[in-house]
Structure 1
Amino acid sequence: MTKPTLGVETTTRRAGAWQATLLLAGSCMPVMGSVLITPVLPQLSEHFGDQPGTDVLVPMIVAIPALMIALFAPFAGQIVDRAGRKNLLIVAMFAYALAGTVPAWIDSLTGILISRAFVGLFEAAIMTVCTTLIVDYFHEEHRRNRYLSLQTVATTLGATLFIVIGGAVGSAGWHAPFWIYAIAIPIAVAMIFSLWEPSREDSTDRHVPTGEKSRVPWRILGLPLIVTVFGGFTFYVMIIEVSYLVAGTGVAADDTATIGLVAAIASLATAAGAFTFPRIAKTGTRVLLPLAFGLQAVGMIVVWLFSGFAGVVVGAIVAGYGSGILLPSLLTWVVSRTRFEERGRATGWWTSAFFFGQFATPLLIGAITGASGAPLPVAVGAVGITAGIVAALLAFGLRRHEAVTSTAV
């Protein structure tokens, strides 16, 4: 009787729905950091209105975390690959809860901005580790696709829920919503007992051969990261601008019920697109990305050409559905070809690219409307035309790119 050979299956634990639930909950923390406090921004502007630069600094309370994620996610990826996944996630979750609740008990705009920068720093680690662990735990293609699509569903629906919660709790004052960040603590405690560090000897996963140095696989990441920056931008255009588009159709700015309803419908369309992804994932990136960008293009052009209320609603639904397919498609494009020892850095760079696109969205839309003097629907239509061009380029270019990079995997 021979002894088992080194390299045979060494994994004794198999992740299930509970581990997936915790990782999806963790993935929602960066989204909560972005949208939870948006309903109380007017209160913050009024409270700090006598301070210089309030018009710029108060919106930065929302924008700074996304910028910090973009800047620091690659560093988080380095830590993930070199020091491990689980410990970084647990520390980041507790630190996120602490930094997130700081504005609940201080009354300083500068202090709030500093705490928000730290929130973004810890979000970079949380998002990078959660995504990496989803692929580590569920690296079989059908399970990976299912949970990466559910990550989009959870974060999209979570964004809508957090806006509602933030608005309801914000009626007690602008300090109140910041206490909700403490929800990360019980999630972190559950993670301590339910998650584990993946084995570097798990033969069911893909690994860098013994003796080969693990490097960031730039050859296969270059194009996906460039496309992801643009995808992060198009993904957030409708999310950020839909309320202004609805108000531009004649709906009163204080008619939050109507504006919120349209935003919720668009959010549900994004979730529906993400639910579709596992069923069409086998068609491959060369089909999915042109399809996703094409749907975004159609939706945004509809908003431009039919800029009445009905046009905005229909356009938001179509673009949102495309966005739901886009996000897991972009992520799968990157992580499906990475090996265990390089996966954290690849995921970190992808996270950085996507959130850089998010951070740039209001800046680019403002630049388009400011430079051209065009109304917002025209600017959205211009983004839609660009998305259509990108869809066409990807449809023709991905076949060649995959052929060139196939030898790098």
Structure 2
Amino acid sequence: MTSHTSTPSALAAFTLLAIACLTIMVGCVIVPGLPRIAEELGIDHGVGLLVTLPALGVVLFGPIAGRLVDRFGLYNSLMAGLIAYGALGMAGAAIHGPWAVYTDRLCLGAATAVIMSSGTGLISALYTGSARLTMIARQGMSIELGGVVFLFIGGLLATIGWAWPFVLYLVAWIFAAMLFCFVPRLQHSPQERGDEGGRDAAVPQSLKIVFTAAVMSMLCFFTGIIVLPIALRELGLNEAQTGYFLSFISLIAVGAAAMMPRFVNRIGEHRTIAIAFACKRSVKSP
């Protein structure tokens, strides 16, 4: 099969951006109904692990996901990741007990790692120049919009029954069908990945700062996303109302992401990060 030479269709672009939403969906689907879902699954302690374990799975299995992409190609890896994502996500409603549930959530994170690496790789391979930069920017916006949509729908489904939010994971199978129909296959060429350069290079100090800021921001994010559903339930809000609240937060994030380039250009990267953490510090639990 020959490599791709023309610009992908609008449907192909939409498919790749829709797939990107799965990265945030993996944890947020069950967040609006988290307290009740934990009770039904037999999780007495460690409720927050239901949300954080998929993220841990992404970290642990990220290197393995990269090797799978090298071996089987971007397209095949993405297809396999989508199928596994839907199956593992839906299985969460059918199992019971901490160990079974935690194992399933960790494996779901592994499938997400495959989707993240191969999905982003496909965008980089199918697009070049300014088109690639545009798609990468849209990918970030799509992830935030996914939080708005899936938190909202997850809250509505949680009011019908505690297990209904898990049905949303099957949207990955719809995306797999779209991938098959609309996204062109690429000739796999692992030799282009360049294994010999930079493996032993020291990490620059500026990059260490970026890593530290990313870790701290993720700690703030997951702390809020776990504590808020419990606090809002104590205030008398149901699952749908919790979903509305959390999806509105994600909607604000979409607007902030759109304004961020201008904001950074005006005051600089370091001041922007400092202001962001100051805003997180000023927020108090209800």
Task: Verify same fold: TM over 0.5.
Answer: yes
Aligned partner (choices 113, 127, 142) of residue 154 of structure 1: 142
Does the CA-based 8 Å contact 2:41-2:101 persist in structure 1?
no
The alignment status of 1:215 with 2:215, answered yes or no, reads: no
Q: Partner of 1:84 in structure 2?
A: 73
Partners in 1 of 2:102 and 2:63 — Cα distance? 22
| Partner SS for 2:268 | helix
Aligned partner (choices 166, 177, 181) of residue 178 of structure 1: 166
The alignment status of 1:122 with 2:105, answered yes or no, reads: no
Partners in 1 of 2:162 and 2:241 — Cα distance? 23
Q: Partner of 1:190 in structure 2?
A: 178
Q: Partner of 1:42 in structure 2?
A: 35
**What TM-score comes out, normalization by structure 2 length?**
0.80
Aligned partner (choices 155, 158, 165) of residue 167 of structure 1: 155
The alignment status of 1:268 with 2:232, answered yes or no, reads: no
1:58-102, Cα deviation, whole Å (9 max, x unpaired) = 321211111110011111112223431100110111111111111
1:189-224, Cα deviation, whole Å (9 max, x unpaired) = 1111222343468xxxxx57xxxx633634678347
Alpha-carbon offset, residue 145 of structure 1? 2.1
Q: Rate the CA distance shift 1:175–1:243 in 2: closer, same or farther, 3 A.
A: closer
Q: Rate the CA distance shift 1:22–1:222 in 2: closer, same or farther, 3 A.
A: farther
Greater shift after overlay, 255-264 or 90-99?
Answer: 255-264
Structure 2 unmatched runs, 5+: none
Does the CA-based 8 Å contact 2:82-2:172 persist in structure 1?
yes
Alpha-carbon offset, residue 33 of structure 1? 1.1
Letter of the 1:74 partner, please give it.
P
Q: Partner of 1:19 in structure 2?
A: 12
Q: Partner of 1:341 in structure 2?
A: none
1:87-129, Cα deviation, whole Å (9 max, x unpaired) = 0110111111111111223344432222212211111100111
Aligned partner (choices 52, 55, 58) of residue 66 of structure 1: 55
Query: Matches of residues 9-408 of structure 1 in structure 2 within 5 Å?
Result: 11-47=4-40, 54-56=44-46, 58-140=47-129, 142-199=130-187, 207=192, 214-215=195-196, 217-218=198-199, 222-223=203-204, 226=208, 227-228=210-211, 230-235=213-218, 237-238=220-221, 240-241=223-224, 253-255=235-237, 263-276=246-259, 291-302=268-279, 304=281, 307=282, 312=283
Partners in 2 of 1:298 and 1:246 — Cα distance? 26
Letter of the 2:268 partner, please give it.
L
Partners in 1 of 2:202 and 2:164 — Cα distance? 42
Q: Rate the CA distance shift 1:64–1:245 in 2: closer, same or farther, 3 A.
A: closer
1:354-401, Cα deviation, whole Å (9 max, x unpaired) = xxxxxxxxxxxxxxxxxxxxx88xxxxxxxxxxxxxxxxxxxxxxxxx
Q: Partner of 1:354 in structure 2?
A: none
Bigger CA radius of gyration: 1
Does the CA-based 8 Å contact 1:96-1:122 persist in structure 2?
yes
**What TM-score comes out, normalization by structure 1 length?**
0.58
Partners in 2 of 1:193 and 1:114 — Cα distance? 32
Alpha-carbon offset, residue 160 of structure 1? 2.5
CA RMSD of aligned residues (A): 3.7
Q: Partner of 1:357 in structure 2?
A: none
1:294-334, Cα deviation, whole Å (9 max, x unpaired) = 32421432454xx4xxxx4xxxxxxxxxxxxxxxxxxxxxx
% identical aligned pairs: 25
